[in-house]
Structure 1
Amino acid sequence: MRVLFVSWAWPTHFYPMVPLAWALRAAGHEVRVAAPPGIEAQVTAAGLPFVQVGRDLDAVARFRAYIPGRASGSPGRGPRAVSLFADLADAMADDLVAFARAWQPDLVVHEPTAYAGPLAAAAVGARAVRMPWGADLMHRQATLEAERRELTPLLARFGLDAVDTLGALTVDLCPAAMQVPEESRPGALDRRPMRYLPYNGAGRVPVPLPPAERRRPRVCVTWGTTVGRLDASLFLAGEVVAALDALDVGIVVAVAAQQRPLLGDLPERAKVIESVPLHCVLPHCDLVVAHGGAGTILTGLAHGLPQLVVPQLIDHTFNAERFAATGAGISLPRAGADAAGIREAVLRLLEEPSYRKAAEEVRAENDRRPAPAQVARQLAEFAGGGGPC
């Protein structure tokens, strides 16, 4: 079987697909990852064959307009980000369809904002499989209507009247408690659960690792990679570390090397770890303080860790609210995230065992889900049988 993975150049949308791509290759299937040039380094570092399609667009500038409280110009029709995702698809489509016609994939696996994926699948008669990176925030009626409007000119270029951006099947990594509520989704989808297996990028693990036995709890502070790219003023990791310095806790700061200057001056006892995959850091920690990105929250839950989340972006706010509802952590609004508020929340999370218990329950739920190898077998049956597996 030939499987074509499609993403645009946003690493946090690509990373959740890596374990499934590995599983398919290990099972003997041919795998390619098609994406714009801006993500080539991340794809090849993951050990996957890269196919360059299209050109990069300045998505960061467009995303900045969606930060709450900022002027965003004309809102356009429907959810504003759909217009950006349609432009990204337009920049990829010609090369992607040409490659798909030459390579003839059986399946096209795409993340939900990579509209060029289902377009290419339709153009060559392959089956499209969606793979959201967290909660399925794109499965909403207003989004689907905006997609149809925005994609019509692009589809016409390839002689297509319509494309189902929801695909034939959705691989679902999100714990049920954090998923978009069923009543908020427009119709049922063929969803196949898969265990969230953390892949937070390639990186060198420091030696020696922090010791497993500790006399005091250790807190990991991390602010992902997206927030700092969009607005340095929203990168609060340095402020969080300064607040924690008054507590009797160990402090580990996980940060991308290029964002190290955003931390500012830190207490000497704070240990900064640069560009180390988060899943290699968290086994040595007791608590996470972060920004609410799906990858960070799910990686923390995969290790059974309670978390304090201080979101600023719209999707991070949704993630934080759903996460807090699981009982595994606390969502603190920016207005309440002063030094005293951060310290109070961290102490509650460390001292009240219910938070750790809830996090362990979500971890157990994740562990019961089918592993990527099992889902790879399901996809092979799905592609070969022409119907549900």
Structure 2
Amino acid sequence: MRVLFTSFPGNTHYFNSVPLAWALRAAGHEVRVASAPELTPAITGSGLTAVPVGSAETLQEKTLRSMRERDFRSVEQWMTRAIPSKLHLGQERADDLDWDELAWGYDGFVVPTAKIMNDSMVDELVDFARWWRPDLVLWDAVSYAGSLAAAACGAAHGRVLFSHDIDARTRNRYLALKAEQPEGERTDSMEEWLGGWAAKHRFPYSETLTTGDFTIDQLPESFRLETGLRYLSMRHIPYNGPSETPRWVWTDPAAPRVLMTFGLSSRTQAHLRVLSVAQVQDALDELAGLDIELIVTLPDEVGAQLDRIPENTRVVEFVPLHALLPTCSAVLHQAGPGGFNGSLRYAVPQLIVSLFPDAPIKARALQRAGAGLSIPPAQATGARIREAFERLLGDPSFREGAENLRQEVLRQPAPSEVVGDLEALAAEYGRRDAVVH
């Protein structure tokens, strides 16, 4: 069969799907990967065939332009002002949210962000899908251009999650509250946006444009949210792009190895850097007194701004996490899919310091499993980071909790083991009643 993967141009989101794409390719299926032109090097670097669609404007340029247009001076201000104080997408109970909060959240954050990520790709992606005629479209969970392309050509389609399924849970609450509103006040900016694209390309709106026919979930089952949707469980296999293992990684550390990493996205998108240079310096100074080997990944231009690098610290621009994490005793990260899922896979106790909307629910899941801690970025002083690492390293229950999660991860089927399920789902949901040029 023909399988089309789609992703907005975010490396870590695309990397989340690479092992599955190769499992399908190795099973004999045709695979293409469509995204904005800036992702083409990452796609071809993974050995897969790219289909560039949309404008050459980069994601960072689109994001910063949108922030300027809406008078946001920082990504933190964007997240806190665009979402009302009670509306945290990662909060534990979606049914605590009322209609005004959800509508404001959709109008001010969810849909504008989705437009930034998707709008420029839709027209060309639909044209490609109607020409290539895929049997199955697999789309990163916020890359709705993929669901539109699938509906336009009649293909079965599924989301590939990178985190907890907060979007589906919040959408369920939104639709329930929408039905309770007076008939003239049932606004829905998500349906208006996706419905507008559907009307342009001559097919009807369906809620599957927001949820897919099914969803591939790579989190342990104990972390999952109840949404009523159909899920296909798959083990997370770390992929970090073309990379090499430095020689120092193969040497067993003389002291516990601790990692501080801030994600691939922060290398190219400065507004996503969760800690300031001053905060990083404060943390390094505090951690200098611990008997650890500290590895810090920072862009070279940021590392050059540090005043001091302690003797127990190594600052590098990049190390593939799947090579480094198995050697680590604890990790601080910003709750991105690579750092979070990779740490689960390798049983590393985690310290989350993040601005991402899904970070609170990730942190609570870790804490319930006894496998991690969290600190809000504004409170991430060197002293607090040191205290957290001392707990993670000194209390063996954190390693036990992390190992329990690792065993749960390893019980999930590998990508190669879900290929047959995807073949069946493509046959079950495939439709050939779409408008095709």
Alignment TM-score, normalising by the size of structure 1: 0.89
TM superposition shift of 1:125: 0.6
CA distance in 1, matches of 2:30, 2:10: 23
* Residue 342 of structure 1: aligned partner: 385
The answer to whether the aligner puts 1:229 opposite 2:274 as a matched pair is no
CA distance in 1, matches of 2:310, 2:423: 52
CA distance in 2, matches of 1:202, 1:355: 32
Change (3 A) 1:259 1:105: farther
1:296 aligns with one of 324, 339, 353: 339
Alignment deviations for residues 226-264 of structure 1 (CA, whole Å, 9 cap, x no partner): 356215573454443332111111111234556544656
The residue matched to 1:246 in structure 2 has which SS? coil
The answer to whether the aligner puts 1:209 opposite 2:254 as a matched pair is no
Change (3 A) 1:73 1:367: closer
Change (3 A) 1:166 1:76: closer
The residue matched to 1:31 in structure 2 has which SS? strand
Amino acid at match of 2:249: L
TM superposition shift of 1:91: 1.0
TM superposition shift of 1:89: 2.7
The residue matched to 1:129 in structure 2 has which SS? strand
Alignment deviations for residues 188-228 of structure 1 (CA, whole Å, 9 cap, x no partner): 1110100011112222221253423x442111111113356
* Residue 359 of structure 2: aligned partner: 316
Which structure ranks higher in relative contact order (CA pairs < 8 Å, sequence separation ≥ 6)? 2
TM superposition shift of 1:319: 2.3
The answer to whether the aligner puts 1:159 opposite 2:165 as a matched pair is no
2:125 aligns with one of 96, 101, 108: 96
* Residue 112 of structure 1: aligned partner: 141
The answer to whether the aligner puts 1:2 opposite 2:2 as a matched pair is yes
The residue matched to 2:162 in structure 1 has which SS? coil
Alignment TM-score, normalising by the size of structure 2: 0.80
Change (3 A) 1:269 1:348: closer
Conserved 8 A contact 1:222-1:237: no
1:248 aligns with one of 271, 274, 291: 291
**Gapped runs of 5+ residues in structure 2?**
84-103, 176-187, 431-437
The residue matched to 2:289 in structure 1 has which SS? coil
Change (3 A) 1:254 1:77: closer
**Gapped runs of 5+ residues in structure 1?**
none
TM superposition shift of 1:20: 0.3
CA distance in 1, matches of 2:161, 2:307: 34
CA distance in 1, matches of 2:106, 2:426: 36
TM superposition shift of 1:386: 4.9
The residue matched to 1:281 in structure 2 has which SS? helix
The residue matched to 1:196 in structure 2 has which SS? coil
Q: Which moved more, 1:136-145 or 1:330-339?
A: 136-145
* Residue 195 of structure 1: aligned partner: 235
CA distance in 1, matches of 2:159, 2:274: 34
Amino acid at match of 2:293: G
Change (3 A) 1:263 1:311: farther
Alignment deviations for residues 76-109 of structure 1 (CA, whole Å, 9 cap, x no partner): 8535132231354321111111111111100000
Aligned length: 381
CA distance in 1, matches of 2:82, 2:392: 41
2:394 aligns with one of 351, 361, 368: 351
Change (3 A) 1:381 1:295: same
TM superposition shift of 1:72: 4.9
The residue matched to 2:193 in structure 1 has which SS? helix
The residue matched to 1:314 in structure 2 has which SS? coil
Conserved 8 A contact 2:330-2:350: yes
TM superposition shift of 1:112: 1.6
